[in-house]
Chain A
Amino acid sequence: MLEAPRLTIRGGRLLDPVSRLDRVLDLHIAGGRVLALDAPPEGFRPDRILDARGQIVCPGFVDLCARVREPGDEHKATIASEVRAAAASGVTTLCCPPDTHPVIDTPAVARLIHQISKRHALARVLPIGALTQGLEGQTLAGMAALKQAGCLVLSQADQPIRDTQVLRRALEYAATFALPVFLLPLDPDLAAGGCAHEGVVSTRLGLPGIPESAETVVLARALVLAEQTGARIHFQRLSTARGVEMLAEARARGIAVSGDVAMHQLFLTEQDVATFDANCHLIPPLRTAADRAALRQGVAEGILGAICSDHQPHELDAKLAPFPETAPGLSALETLLPLGLRLVEEGVLDLMTLIERLSSGPAEILGREPGRIVPGAPADLCLFDPQVNWTVCPETWISRGQNTPFMGQRLRGRVSWTLFGGRIVYESWRVGAHPA
């Protein structure tokens, strides 16, 4: 790996949610770490100066759910392709669920992902270990070995644990090693065959529905077990208003649980399915406008401490079929920041809170030191221009998967540079092409 250069980031607005820093200052970087703010240390001579006037400089984003499709589904995407997309999106750490092929239920698979991602060194890819062997929900995975192999958390990806006793034991065993457990609250029987929110739109279109209770029933069960076992559960990709409410109640009672939401859930609703757009075939499904409002409020109030991309790149054919036969999921890394900025524009969050939900919030859920802009901190940074307008189009899309319902839309805000370990891992061709 090349040695990190000495950099000066000039005139950017530094935003650090952890130290509550919000000032226009120069930033100096050396040896992969933040060296100084404002004035450079005596004798410091940067290899390069990045003109960040008019731009935001913040800690790199931590994405709690992004599929890289490797190993096993390289026809959809690869670690190489998706870390490039991550770098272009300001994401410096991404967590990859264990539903790879083979499943991340042995240290060997976890190490393989580490090795491949280190080879590309554009972002940190953290494999999430499987909670049960083969994600089959029956036998516990070797959690201690997975932890040793670098898995910071465990999950079932989108697979259920039907047997409540197995779930209880899995939580207890994970708690033995202080490993947080990520769960997608979705009852497999209530959701069976469903491909859209059970409501007005699915009824009109005749699409088999997934009721709200598919989320809340599982949530209720897991909350009871969290209280009993003392395990730390993080609920991924909540989609319902009632789910947010239940999480808030549990947190108020002092239960160690947290939650996140996928960015697209804060924008799209069941109405977006009305034209059978397969890019809106998602699990959990797009819910109602009232659910969306509650999710937004949950993010604003911190009940949902993180926003993830739920990035799921697919090959073209995966979406070229009648809606129920298509593969669920959207390619989402590259719209993460601009959609987040739209939340700011719409008054849902202030900019500092957005950065927090994208960086320090998810880092804390992972049990990692949150990114900061203070001397000595690792220089994992995202620099973005909040004003630049761009159109989502295949020509400039970096992820291998182009399956996004936002294709063709005009968005505002784009990453200019991403620094990972003090190295520039992404530099937009647009840098300097717009007024400072």
Chain B
Amino acid sequence: MTHLHTQLDAQGRLRHFLTIEGLSRKLLIELLDQAEGFLGVAQQAVKKVPLCRGKVVANLFFETSTRTRTTFELAAKRLSADVLNLNISTSATAKGESLLDTLRNLEAMHVDMFVVRHAESGTAHFMAAHAAPHVSIINAGDGRHAHPTQALLDMFTIRRHKGGFDHLRVAIVGDILHSRVARSQMLALKTLRVPDIRVIAPRTLLPAKVEEAFGVSAYYDLAEGIRDVDVIIMLRLQRERMSSALLPSEHEYFQLFGLTEERMKAAKPDAIVMHPGPINRGVEMDSAVADGRRSVILEQVTNGIAVRMAVMAMCLGSQGSK
């Protein structure tokens, strides 16, 4: 089960960024190191580097998103690329144009990179399989499958706080079943050799055979699951899940799986709290935790730009040297 052949070019360089799966630890570390270098760009008077000048990046968001789309846009602009933001809900696909036709039309306008978000798993992979040889695809979230830049920025944030990965206990809490973020995080944590990865949720929100599929441990009790962990990653719980047969109520979910300062005591004293956002306060965690001293949630957002710059620069760089 590998996507290597579609993500890397013949020289083994990153051409597309579709999933963490199949990428080496060395490559992930290289991306994290490169992101460190880009963190300082935001502190400069002119917040730009000329690495991708003349390149055209199109943000193709078939699902609404503010945070991810904005950080991708800023990342591309800080690399001096030209950016197109396509409002898909009022565009050609709404008139019945196929995804492939959209891709081909934009390719004909000499777009170099597509940042794609879509509600169906496998979309980025599908587009990469049909993209022209000089075009790169970045997966900005496809269905329940993958959100690899989010996972990478989480790893970046963890490394900055914890120094490394091979001594950590990490807990991911919430709707693992529907979460592309969790899937990419589990793969990234595994690739970076985190020895103890835990997922915590009621059984209705855990996918089948999650332990076997990702080499993690499943917990159904929050207190037990976060005991002595170094990192707690909370996931967003979509409110529509409450009305289906997955959960009885927000109230009960918060009672059992919501993160409070009191419950945080089970984790290590220096444990950090993460969340990919947007947060449902009072559902996934209370405000005291979200805004507390151990929360690194806003840092994640800042780091996201640097990490996305690193991914884009590496993909566009492999194009430029052809």
Binding site for B on A (CB under 8 A): 198-209, 211, 271, 274-276, 317, 320-325
B212 → chain A closest CB, angstroms: 5
Contacts of A317 in B (CB 8 A): 98
Contact B98 A271 (CB under 8 A): no
On chain B, the residues within 8 Å of A274 by CB distance are 1
Is there an interface contact between B121 and A207, defined as CB atoms closer than 8 Å? yes
The complex places the Cα of A207 from the Cα of B144 at a distance, in Å, of 7
Report whether B145 and A201 are in contact in the complex, using a CB–CB cutoff of 8 Å: no
Taken together as a complex, chains A and B put the C-alpha atoms of A203 and B187 apart, in Å, by 12
Given contacts A271-B1, A317-B98, contact A205 B209 (CB under 8 A): no
Q: Is the CB of B121 within 8 A of A205?
A: yes
Is B317 an interface residue, CB under 8 A from the partner?
no
Cα distance A431–B91 in the bound complex, in angstroms? 54
Q: Given A198-B208, A324-B143, A203 and B120 touching (CB < 8 A)? A: no
Say yes or no: B213 contacts A200, CB within 8 Å. yes
Chosen A-B contacts, 17 in total, with CB atoms closer than 8 Å, are A199-B208, A200-B208, A200-B213, A202-B207, A203-B208, A203-B210, A205-B122, A205-B145, A206-B144, A206-B145, A206-B183, A207-B143, A276-B125, A321-B99, A322-B122, A323-B121, A323-B126
How far is A274 from B121 in the complex, measured between Cα atoms in Å?
Answer: 12
Residues of B close to A206: CB separation below 8 A: 121, 142-146, 180, 183
Given contacts A203-B210, A207-B143, 16 further A-B contacts (CB under 8 A): A198-B208, A200-B209, A203-B209, A204-B183, A206-B142, A206-B143, A206-B180, A208-B144, A271-B1, A317-B98, A320-B130, A321-B100, A322-B122, A322-B142, A324-B121, A324-B143
B295 to chain A, nearest CB (A): 27
CB contacts under 8 Å to A, within B230-265, are none
Beta-carbon contact of B208 and A211 below 8 Å = yes
Pairwise interchain contact A320-B100, C-beta atoms closer than 8 A: yes
Chain B, residue nearest A195 (CB): B121
Closest to B126 in A: A322
Instruction: Report the Cα distance A206→B179, complex, angstroms.
Output: 8
Please give, as numbers and ranges, the residues of chain B lying within 8 Å of A276 by CB-CB distance.
121-122, 125-126
CB of B274, distance to nearest CB on chain A (Å): 20
Q: Most A CB atoms within 10 A — which of B3, B100, B183, B213?
A: B213
With both beta carbons as reference points, the residue of chain A lying nearest to B5 in the complex is identified as: A275
A285, chain B: closest CB distance, angstroms: 13
Chain B proximity of A402: nearest CB distance (Å): 17
Report Cα–Cα, A262/B107, bound state, in Å.
Answer: 40
In contact, B214 and A322 (Cβ under 8 angstroms): no
Given known A202-B208, A271-B1, contact A322–B98 (CB-CB < 8 A): no
The 8 A CB mask of B66-105 against A (1 = contact, 0 = none) is 0000000000000000000000000000000011100000
| Most B Cβ at <10 Å: residue of A198, A204, A275, A320 | A204
B209 touches A199 (CB 8 A): yes
* B123 interface contact, C-beta 8 A: yes
Residues of B within 8 A of A198 (CB): 208
Interface size class of B (residues with CB under 8 A): 20 to 34
* Complex: A201 Cα to B207 Cα, angstroms: 11
Known A-B contacts A317-B98, A320-B100, A322-B121; A200 and B212 likewise in contact (beta carbons under 8 Å): yes
Bitwise interface map of B from 115 to 142 toward A, beta carbon under 8 Å scored 1, else 0: 0001011110110001000000000001
- A274–B214 Cα distance when bound, in Å, is 14
Let me know if B208 and A321 touch, CB within 8 A. no
Complex Cα distance, B77 from A208, in Å, reads 36
Report the minimal beta-carbon distance from B100 to chain A, rounded to whole angstroms.
6
- Note all chain B residues with C-beta closer than 8 A to A207: 121-122, 143-145
Instruction: Establish whether residues A321 and B126, one from each chain, have CB atoms under 8 Å apart when the complex forms.
Output: yes
Q: Is B154 an interface residue (CB 8 A)?
A: no
- Given A203-B213, A208-B144, A276-B125, the answer on whether A325 and B120 have CB atoms closer than 8 Å is yes
- A278 and B83 CA atoms in complex are apart in Å by 32
Residues A204 and B213 in contact in the complex (CB < 8 Å), given A209-B208, A322-B142: yes
The chain A residue with its CB closest to the CB of B182 is A206
Q: Which residue of A200, A203, A211, A322 contacts B118 across the interface (Cβ within 8 Å)?
A: A322
How far is the CB of A208 from the nearest CB of chain B, in Å?
Answer: 7
Give every chain A residue within 8 A of B212 (Cβ-Cβ). 200
Nearest-neighbor residue (CB-CB) of A207 within chain B: B121
Q: In the complex, what residues of A have CB within 8 A of residue B143's CB?
A: 206-207, 322, 324
Chain B residues in 8 Å Cβ range of A321: 98-100, 120, 126
Cα of A382 to Cα of B118 in the assembled complex, Å: 48
| B138: min CB distance to chain A, Å | 16
- Interface centre among A203, A209, A211, A325, by most chain B C-beta atoms within 10 angstroms, is A203
Selected from A203, A211, A324, the residue in CB contact (under 8 A) with B122 is A324
**Using a CB-CB cutoff of 8 Å, which residues 161-213 of chain B contact chain A?**
180, 183, 207-210, 212-213
B21 at interface (Cβ–Cβ under 8 A)? yes
- When A204-B1, A205-B122, A206-B145 are in contact, do A320 and B209 touch as well, CB less than 8 Å? no
**Residue among B98, B142, B145, B212 with the most chain A CB within 10 A?**
B145
**For the complex, what is the distance from the CA of A242 to the CA of B1, rounded to whole Å?**
26
Q: How far is the CA of A271 from the CA of B99 in the complex (A)?
A: 26
Using Cβ atoms and an 8 Å threshold, which residues of chain B touch A324? 120-122, 143
Q: How far is the CA of A203 from the CA of B218 in the complex (A)?
A: 14
Cα-based distance from A323 to B145 in the complex (angstroms): 11
CB distance from A282 to the nearest CB of B (A): 15
| B99 & A201 in contact (Cβ 8 Å cutoff) | no
Distance between Cα atoms of A201 and B144 in the complex (Å): 13
Which residues of the partner chain B approach A202 to less than 8 Å between Cβ atoms? 207-208
In the complex, what residues of A have CB within 8 A of residue B1's CB?
Answer: 201, 204, 271, 274-275
Enumerate chain A residues within 8 angstroms of B120, measured Cβ to Cβ: 321-325
Q: Which of A200, A204, A271, A325 contacts B21 (CB 8 A)?
A: A204
Across the A-B interface, the 5 shortest Cβ-Cβ residue pairs: A206-B144, A206-B145, A322-B120, A276-B122, A274-B1
Specify which chain A residues have a CB less than 8 angstroms from the CB of B130 in the assembled complex.
320
Residue of A nearest to B210 (CB): A203
Would you give the shortest CB distance from B6 to chain A, in whole angstroms? 8
Instruction: Kindly state the separation between the CA atoms of A204 and B125 in the bound complex, as whole angstroms.
Output: 14
| Alpha-carbon distance between A219 and B210 when the two chains are bound, in angstroms | 27
Contact bitstring B39-59, A, C-beta under 8 A = 1, else 0: 000000000000000000000
Within the assembled complex, what's the spacing in Å between the Cα atoms of A198 and B207? Answer: 8
Which A-chain residue is minimally distant from B209 (CB atoms)? A200
Question: Which residues of chain B have C-beta atoms less than 8 A from A325's C-beta?
Answer: 120
A323-B213 contact in complex given A199-B208, A202-B208, A207-B144, C-beta closer than 8 Å: no
